[in-house]
Amino acid sequence: MGDGKNTSFWNDSWCGSSCLKDMFPRLYRLESNKEVMLCDLIIKVSASVSAPTLAAAVHGSAPPLAAAAHGSDSVSRPSQIPGLSAKLGDASHNIRLSSASVYFSSLQVSSESPQHPSVPVHSQLMPGDIYKPIWGWSRVPSGRTADELMELENILKSIHFDFNSGEKWKWLLANDGIFTVRKLSFLIDKHILGHPSSPKKTLRNNLIPKKIEIFTWRALKKRIPVRIELDKRGIDLHSVRCPVCDDGLESVDHSLVSCKFALEVWARIYNWWNLGPCPSSFDDILEGNLSQASSSTGKKIWQGTVWVCAYYLWKNRNMKVFRNEMWCAPVLVNEIQVKAFEWISSRLKGKNINWSTWLVNPLVFLSL
């Protein structure tokens, strides 16, 4: 909140998730200036100013504070302290210091000023620079309202005010308070996409288009509109069976892995890469066979191929649902090979992928 010049004490949510007028409605009704800014209600009390002098300044009868501060040049005059130039009892100001006794009681006052016995004050110098509220109640809080005041003052005591700096935005999820897309992506990977057995590197791949990254993320979170998920959300369907094979309920794992057609496509992909048998779930496919790659680029190439395969399996499923058309497995695998080569080779910087080698022995690219 910085210097508090643009922050409304009661109406802005500067202290927690709610504004103070909602947290303390009884106090808000007693507030004489409901639009008061934070910098006008919270004032800085210098360590060199004794409480009796401040109490006298409240009544407008004290000499300049600099003279009372043992010659200190750094102490402001009363006219320079917000709210201290008004006199008690001046109804034309609806004065903020009308409840000065409440203010000084928060300083744990134990003695009285001989000049102004009605105002309890502290006789010692205040330790360090302190920020204190100067309330402006229409009447002295009592009963439940006094309980609210005590709770509010306890909250304010726990806050470190620094009115020397300007206002600025701070992102609470970063230690330095600075928002960056990189930090946000890291948090999404860690807390939303992350799996105990899955390294974060498997969740992003700059060798393929963003639309395929997004599709993979949605599939991993079970957010693609397979019929089982649509049925859970109350969408009336004539059937929840797989539209491609009609041999099981259409879930994410079934549509992308367990469907007979998908199994045939994955078998051809794994055979093309000379890898072992295909895992039985989509999560396992995303995590598997990464250990065989000896470089981060090699892992991304294999990941890109897997993600492109899943994307085209889903595209083929949509063709069946909306146009009643389908590719056969060899044609679909050929389309996956072409598109994966096109996207990966165009995004690899300084490294060439040969089309013939890509078709015959793609394992050599795991060491790039």
Distance between CA atoms of residues 43 and 205, nearest Å: 53
Long-range contacts, stretch 253-258, CB < 8 angstroms, 24+ apart: 253/280, 253/281, 253/282, 254/226, 255/224, 255/226, 255/313, 255/314, 255/317, 256/219, 256/282, 256/310, 256/313, 256/314, 257/281, 257/282, 257/285
The model's confidence at residue 350, banded by pLDDT at 50, 70 and 90, is confident
Q: In this structure, what DSSP letter does residue 277 have?
A: P
Nearest partner of 270 among 316, 308, 305, judged by Cα: 305
Residue 56 has pLDDT above 60, yes or no: no
Share of the chain above pLDDT 70, in %: 70
Residue 55 has pLDDT above 70, yes or no: no
- Pair of tokens at residue 193: 């996409």
Average pLDDT along the chain: 74
Average pLDDT over residues 239-244: 94
Ranking 5-9, 96-100, 234-238 by mean pLDDT, the lowest is: 96-100
pLDDT at 143: 87
Residue 178 has pLDDT above 80, yes or no: yes
Average pLDDT over residues 131-157: 86
The model's confidence at residue 289, banded by pLDDT at 50, 70 and 90, is low
Distance between CA atoms of residues 356 and 334, nearest Å: 13
Average pLDDT over residues 215-224: 88
Ranking 102-106, 133-137, 302-306, 324-328 by mean pLDDT, the lowest is: 102-106
pTM: 0.52
The answer to whether residues 342 and 209 touch, using CB atoms and an 8 Å cutoff, is no
Q: In this structure, what DSSP letter does residue 185 have?
A: H
pLDDT at 74: 39
Across 68-77, 103-112, 212-221, 286-295, the highest mean pLDDT is recorded for 212-221
pLDDT at 60: 42
The model's confidence at residue 195, banded by pLDDT at 50, 70 and 90, is low
pLDDT digits (tens, 9 = 90+) for 20-29: 888 888 888 8
Task: Provide the β-strand partners of residue 133.
Answer: 42
Ranking 31-40, 190-199, 230-239 by mean pLDDT, the lowest is: 190-199
pLDDT at 317: 95
**Angle (CA) 29 30 36, round 5°:** 90
- Pair of tokens at residue 12: 């802005």
pLDDT at 169: 77
Q: In this structure, what DSSP letter does residue 64 have?
A: P
Which CA distances in Å does 58 have to 50, 142, 169? 13, 23, 35
Position 7, amino acid: T
More confident residue, 123 or 332: 332
pLDDT at 285: 83
Across 78-87, 197-206, 246-255, the highest mean pLDDT is recorded for 246-255
pLDDT digits (tens, 9 = 90+) for 66-108: 333 333 333 333 333 344 333 333 333 333 433 333 333 333 3
Distance between CA atoms of residues 233 and 63, nearest Å: 74
Q: How many residues does the chain have?
A: 368
More confident residue, 158 or 20: 20
Q: Is 104 exposed, middle or buried (0-12, 13-18, 19+ CB in 10 A)?
A: buried
pLDDT at 351: 78
pLDDT at 109: 34
Long-range contacts, stretch 151-157, CB < 8 angstroms, 24+ apart: 151/24, 152/20, 152/23, 152/24, 152/27, 153/106, 155/15, 155/16, 156/15, 156/42
